[in-house]
Amino acid sequence: MIRPLPDAVIFDMDGLLIDSERLARASTLAVSEQLGHPIPEPVAMRMIGLGNDALERMLRDELGAQFPLTQFRNTWNEHYGALVAQGVPVKAGVLEALTALAAANVPCAVATSTQTRLAHHKLENAGLLHHFSFVVGRDAVVHGKPAPDLYLHAAKQLGHRAERCWAFEDSLPGLTAAAASGARTHWVPDLAHIHADDLPAGVETIDSLHHICSWVTPRA
């Protein structure tokens, strides 16, 4: 069913546009095991969607002061970087959705907890970078997800109010951020299971970004 077009669309990146959360989880489990401080699977799942600062706070709270946070972070970056260098698949429906939005002249941006430079690198390697007018990474704002700063900044870069934008996310921190910005927010589930009662008010659940194709029609 065709919907009124938004002024712009803002996407999360990891786990939404590219299938990178599985690589991140694999690195988390492998590196923590290697260091002799295995991170439990439920904790690894709660790490999804968090920026570095929120993630490190959570690890300290969950695993205590004895957890080798600096060594884990450095080793994780190497391990994850090696996996990403082998290529990260594009998620189902992404190219079709971006093509439909381009045909409708709807500008798009990315709002990600990844640092901007690395986000550019990931998107370029995936062949997606040219679809986006702006890429807003964690280093561009004071407060990362679940604060709304990334979405508000992305909307500002696009020249529109967040309330006039659609937002798409796969994690609870991201959904919380997008909804708090005022954007019309959509959950596309990936690895993280989110109970319906925990979803921010007004969030719509869809199973793939391919739904966008049926919502938009090319502008004359």
pLDDT value at 36 more than 70: yes
Q: Are 157 and 200 part of one and the same domain?
A: yes
Q: What is the pLDDT of residues 176-205, one digit of tens each?
A: 999 999 999 999 998 878 988 999 999 999
pLDDT value at 2 more than 90: no
Who's near 25: CB < 8 A, 6+ residues apart? 44, 45, 47, 48, 191
In the three-class reduction of DSSP (H, G, I as helix; E, B as strand; rest coil), residue 184 is classed as strand
Banded model confidence at residue 78, pLDDT cuts 50, 70, 90: very high
Who's near 121: CB < 8 A, 6+ residues apart? none
Q: Are 207 and 141 part of one and the same domain?
A: yes
Q: Are 75 and 95 part of one and the same domain?
A: no
**Alpha carbon distance 88, 86 (integer Å):** 7
Share of the chain above pLDDT 70, in %: 99
Structural domain span for residue 14: 8-19+89-215
Q: Are 140 and 55 part of one and the same domain?
A: no
Read off the pLDDT of each residue in 32-43 and give the average, rounded to a whole number.
92
- Mean of the per-residue pLDDT values of the chain: 93
pLDDT value at 215 more than 90: yes
Q: Are 72 and 166 part of one and the same domain?
A: no
Q: Are 94 and 197 part of one and the same domain?
A: yes
Q: Are 101 and 65 part of one and the same domain?
A: no
**Number of domains, the chain:** 2
Highest mean pLDDT among 14-28, 71-85, 146-160 belongs to: 146-160
Neighbour tally for 133: CB within 10 Å: 13
What pLDDT score was predicted for residue 51? 74
| 1, two tokens | 């069913």
pLDDT value at 220 more than 80: no
Q: Which residue among 60, 85, 110 closes a domain?
A: 85
What pLDDT score was predicted for residue 92? 92
Q: Are 128 and 65 part of one and the same domain?
A: no
Contact 175, 192 (CB under 8 A): no
Domain of 156, CATH number, reads 3.40.50.1000
The secondary structure of 102-152 as a DSSP string is HHTT--EEEE-SS-HHHHHHHHHHTT-GGG-SEEE-GGGSSS-TTSSHHHH
Q: Are 141 and 159 part of one and the same domain?
A: yes
| Spatial CA neighbour of 72 closest among 112, 44, 113, 114 | 44
| Spatial CA neighbour of 170 closest among 95, 107, 111 | 111
Q: Are 79 and 123 part of one and the same domain?
A: no
Read off the pLDDT of each residue in 150-176 and give the average, rounded to a whole number.
97
Q: Are 57 and 154 part of one and the same domain?
A: no
